Amino acid sequence: MRPVIGLSTYREQTRWGVWDAPADLLPSAYAQALEAAGAAPVLLPPVAEPADAAAAVVARLDGLVISGGADVDPARYREAPHQRTTGWRPDRDAWEVALLDAAEAAGIAVLGVCRGMQVMAVRAGGSLDQHTPDLVAHETHSPGADVYGDTLVETLAGTRVRETVGERLTVRCHHHQSVRSHPGHAPAAYASDGTLEAMEDTTRPFWVGVQWHPETRDAGAAEDHALFRALVVAASGRT
């Protein structure tokens, strides 16, 4: 039986066909990556009462992906917004934190992608660097518009991330923010400029965050697609 993996989603004003309306959406690459890895993906849009709903939803899941998206509200880590910090979604922040709370309580496998890794760090009491180019003096991590930046990352010895994707790989990034502190999570990969590109909680079977977008790679061609397979393997232990 395929494990059921939940994917957090956007809620945005969207146009399709004759419609221009609020919609719950996510790039299909996420669901396709999970399906190719052997899972049954389900979308989890933000809800008005996140705590109660998250517990009910996670009780029916075997694993969880916190997806990429907009900046995290800096008020969640007690900072004023940087001039380049925009478009945060308090409803989505609250929903994803509630999902992570419920996932921790239930002991299910979790993968955070880009914003998802940042939400994981902030939920744990960590903080973000709100505009990474201020620190590294380049825009490679997010070249602009819908372009992904190719970033060489090196994983750390002894981590689940290295075990899953190998020692080095070139990943596709689209983030202008990055994790500064991450209580309860061990660093698992860095870019050459020192940016943290992956972290994990070593006390749990599978609780991993990556700053890059493994879902954008072809399932048969990229080492980092192994992250979805590893998530599915971890989730399969519950089915």
Q: In this structure, what DSSP letter does residue 77 have?
A: G
Total residue count of the chain as it appears in this document? 239
Per DSSP bridges, beta strands 186-191 and 196-200 are antiparallel
Q: What is the pLDDT of residue 239?
A: 46
Is residue 116 a contact partner of residue 64, using CB atoms and an 8 Å limit? no
pLDDT number for residue 237: 82
Largest CA distance in the chain: 52
Residue numbers in the chain where pLDDT is lower than 50: 239
CA-based nearest residue to 33, from 194, 178, 210: 210
Distance CA 84, CA 177 (A): 10
Class of residue 80 by CB neighbours under 10 A (exposed 0-12, middle 13-18, buried 19+): exposed
Helix axes 226-236, 28-36, angle to 10 degrees: 60
The single residue of 114, 173, 174, 175 carrying the catalytic annotation is 114
Give the model's pLDDT for residue 219.
61
Do 120 and 184 contact (CB within 8 A), yes or no? Answer: no
pLDDT of residue 220: 56
Show the tokens assigned to 16.
């399709």
| DSSP single-letter state for residue 144 | B
Catalytic annotation present for 213: yes
Domains and CATH numbers, the chain: 4-236 (3.40.50.880)
Report the DSSP beta bridge partners of residue 145: none
pLDDT value at residue 222: 62
pLDDT value, residue 210: 98
Q: Which residues, listed in sequence order, are joined to residue 172 by a DSSP beta bridge?
A: 150
Q: What is the mean pLDDT of the chain?
A: 95
φ/ψ of residue 215, rounded to 5: -70, -20
* Paired tokens of 61: 């899941």
Query: Is residue 208 within 8 Å of residue 198, measured between CB atoms?
Result: yes
Helical H runs in 114-159?
115-123, 133-136
Q: Quote the pLDDT of residue 238.
A: 57
Rounded CA gap, 144 and 165, in Å? 26
